[in-house]
Chains A and B, each alone.
Chain A
Amino acid sequence: GAGVSQSPSNKVTEKGKDVELRCDPISGHTALYWYRQSLGQGLEFLIYFQGNSAPDKSGLPSDRFSAERTGGSVSTLTIQRTQQEDSAVYLCASSDFAGGTITGELFFGEGSRLTVL
Chain B
Amino acid sequence: GQNIDQPTEMTATEGAIVQINCTYQTSGFNGLFWYQQHAGEAPTFLSYNVLDGLEEKGRFSSFLSRSKGYSYLLLKELQMKDSASYLCAVLNDYKLSFGAGTTVTVRA
Contacts and interface: CB of A to CB of B under 8 A. Distances in A.
Contacts of B98: 35, 42-43, 45
B91 interface: yes
A34 interface: no
Given A42-B99, A42-B101, A100 B45 contact: no
Contact of A108 (B44, B48, B93, B101): B44
Contact of A100 (B33, B41, B93, B101): B93
Given A43-B98, A101-B93, A102-B96, A108 B33 contact: no
Contacts of A109: 42
A45 B99 CA distance: 11
Contact of B95 (A56, A91, A108): A56
Interface in A95-117: 97, 100-102, 104-111
Given A105-B33, A109-B42, A43 B94 contact: no
Q: Is the interface of A mostly helix, strand, loop or mixed?
A: strand
A55 to B, nearest CB: 8
Q: Is the interface of B mostly helix, strand, loop or mixed?
A: strand
The number of chain B residues touching the other chain, given as a range, is 20 to 34
Interface string B65-96: 00000000000000000000001010101111
B45 to A, nearest CB: 4
A31 interface: yes
Nearest to A107: B45
Interface residues of A, number: 25
B42 A111 contact: yes
Interface string B38-70: 000111110010000000000000000000000
Interface of A: 4, 31, 33, 35, 41-43, 45, 48, 50, 55-56, 91, 97, 100-102, 104-111
15 contacts: A41-B100, A42-B101, A43-B43, A45-B95, A45-B96, A45-B98, A91-B42, A100-B93, A101-B30, A101-B31, A102-B91, A104-B48, A105-B33, A105-B45, A106-B96
Interface of B: 30-31, 33, 41-45, 48, 87, 89, 91, 93-101
